[in-house]
Structure 1
Amino acid sequence: MNVLYTAKARATGGRDGRATSLSGHPDLALKPPAAMGGPADQGEATNPEELFALGYGACFLSALSLIARQQKISAKHFAIDTAVSIGSDDKGGFGLAVELHGDMPDVEREKAAELMRTAHTVCPYSKATQGNIEVRLFLDGEEL
């Protein structure tokens, strides 16, 4: 791989601690969600699943926009809603599942589905998760 950029961060305290990038921004408080024993009031804290959802959604949207632009389709109003779920697996540990919901106004459904599927082969997050976690693609609430 020809490295273009390396992000560096430090986490302390696990799910009840802090996560800070080497540059100092962001510097985030971490709390487990209430569903996993955390406080009902999270304040301004986040958790690893929210951070993963933010990163995956942004990365996938970038890949989707690239594919659209290559086909002379404006991606100016595209959006991705991302859901990251955590749960126990059958091996006594935990696993993740992801849903990527595409919003592509003014793009025909078949073309939008094609763009989503192609972006899924280009996005680095999709490549990294392939075969490791379930990733489901959606358009208009329907799974592709």
Structure 2
Amino acid sequence: MAIDPVYTAKATATGGRDGAAKTADGSLDVKLGVPKEMGGDGKGNNPEQLFAAGYAACYLGAMKFAQSKDKSLAEIPADASVEAHVGIGPRSDTGFGLKVDLVVSMPGLDKAEVEKITEAGHKICPYSNAINGNVDVTTTVA
């Protein structure tokens, strides 16, 4: 499926998991470090943290977009949040894989309403679409 990008992010990483990454415009410049659980010192951010932050923000935005286009969905409260848990580990065949757990909180809405919104959000979110069929994603309503 072809897309016509309206925005393209540009970032460069050096040194791998124990290096640095920065965006071309300089707005993000992070030291990368291997988590203690993977044998590192835990200093610096890691790709899974960056992916979790990006996915959580994008998915919440996608749910808001879905609600703005489909007025049958309940209005999303201002204090809504998405917590993304991104795990990494060895795959059974070879290499490494990811597992994502999204926890959605929309205070004041009942669970059934939130579940409808989460389903609509997954259809729109580019992160959800990019990893669909490749990464195990669970969505829980808090």
Percent identity of the aligned residues? 38
TM-score by length of 2: 0.92
Aligned to 2:59: 60
Which of 130, 135, 138 does residue 137 from structure 2 map onto? 135
Which of 34, 38, 41 does residue 39 from structure 1 map onto? 41
Number of aligned residue pairs: 137
Distance 1:75 1:64 in 2: 11
TM-score by length of 1: 0.91
Aligned to 1:90: 92
Distance 2:12 2:77 in 1: 34
Distance 1:65 1:118 in 2: 10
How much has 1:92 moved relative to structure 2? 2.5
For the aligned residues, what is the CA RMSD?
A: 1.2
5+ residue gaps, structure 1, are none
Q: Report the more deviating stretch, 84-93 or 62-71.
A: 62-71
Amino acid at match of 2:86: V
Distance 2:64 2:102 in 1: 14
> 1 or 2 for the larger relative contact order (CA 8 Å, sep ≥6)?
2
5+ residue gaps, structure 2, are none
